Chains A and B, each alone.
Chain A
């Protein structure tokens, strides 16, 4: 058997499975939606303030969650990359541990903490800081907290990979040439870690844009993001055309972001001269 045929046969099962169960259904339903209703569901989405508001909420929550995850995740990853203490191992386990725990369970933990009769309110009432329980659960705030909890491990692991590959001697060199810690960070560490920052942020932002469990459980029935809206259109409004429009628009947004980032990072890498750390 020649090698070309071997390669073809090995690639066949995965190719066929993806074609039959993934590509064909995705394309078929898109054409079916357009054939039945034209582009009206898509036009509705972009002309109805109700839907535009959901898109904006999704983008806003994702931007805030990504930004906070980056701001908290970067120093964490930096500390983990540079420390030689045994704490690093413990921290890696703590980072990976919630990573393996279902999003349902993690959201439940926040429900117990943030509910009206939840532990945070019990505590604040107990010490007399507030006289009425705060409404935290079923708000955007709770969704963002839950989202950050979900995303930080991905952010830290992504950044850790890049920061570990930066030689600490580069930083010592900057110090010995008279740079202060801020300058060293701004001119040496940060630029070298930019590829990792971009790829981690895109990953985390995409996960947030498409997340379903966290907004459903922590946002309540009146809080709507794109993914929860798809399910509402199917189960509550029985509007499959709208569900299709939201699904494919969400997909398009994700693909456009991926495309922009792939194109711009490849340009950036060229300018940086290849980029070994990518």
Chain B
């Protein structure tokens, strides 16, 4: 092959990029088992003390985790309805300005989340009396909506709408058509959009750091606060658990919905 060494060059770059991507994560996993407070590599021995420290230490990681899950699940659950309805309104009907409406629904993607966070902070401080959870929740509700709308639209875009008519002509009422035909066929888009939206909320920092209150702090902010005070391997232990959670999610997704959804 004449293009043999071009392919070889690409292969070498690809492998180096893979090493570059994985290295910091592997390092975190390895050092999480260090017995000493100062990180040395390779670790001198093996210990699970930093894992125990996640639960017993000063980091309050568990309350952070609960808060992150609360906000993420609630915002995703509501946005799945709001976003899927919005996507249906764009794809199911013919009217002028469909593209304008789609751009409107995905507009939070184009706004730097730090700018939106600052704006919400100012509005909240004028209104007053809003709890930390509500403040963060409203921010997340808005910034994750585009992911659900976009992924659902990308499925509905190629949807065969005559299937709805067929179901109706076979005697299904509109509600049956919606739940037994439309929703099952749109499911890949809804599920992938929902997963992306939840992960975005779970990892979100800009909004959470400006809007959280001392009584309501999400997990990423807990980790960042801990970093500023103590730089011990507890951070590696909690990070390892988060990396493992991501790995499990990716394996489950590969098995049940496929990984193609990320490649759009």
Interfacial residues, chain A to chain B (CB-CB below 8 A): 3-4, 6-8, 10-15, 17-18, 21-23, 25-26, 28-29, 32, 72-73, 75-76, 78-80, 82-83, 91-106, 108-113, 117-119, 122-123, 149, 152-153, 156-157, 160-161, 171, 175, 180-181, 184-185, 209-210, 212-213, 216-217, 226-227, 230-231, 234, 240, 243-244, 247-248, 250-251, 254-255, 258
Contact = CB atoms under 8 A, between A and B. Distances in A.
Contacts of A161: 263-264
Contact of B86 (A11, A98, A99): A11
Given A18-B145, A212-B205, A231-B209, 5 more contacts: A22-B142, A108-B236, A112-B31, A244-B118, A248-B115
Contacts of B116: 22, 26
Interface residues of B, number: 86
Given A102-B242, A247-B112, A149 B21 contact: yes
Given A17-B145, A91-B18, A105 B239 contact: yes
Contact of B224 (A22, A97, A217): A217
B175 interface: no
A21 B138 contact: yes
Contacts of B217: none
Contacts of B3: 171, 175, 181, 184
SS class of chain A's interface: helix, strand, loop or mixed? helix
Interface in B102-129: 104-105, 107-108, 110-116, 118-123
Contact of A157 (B82, B86, B246, B262): B262
B86 A73 contact: no
Contact of A153 (B21, B25, B243): B21
A41 B100 CA distance: 32
A233 to B, nearest CB: 9
A6 B85 CA distance: 10
B28 interface: yes
A129 B205 CA distance: 38
A254 B38 CA distance: 42
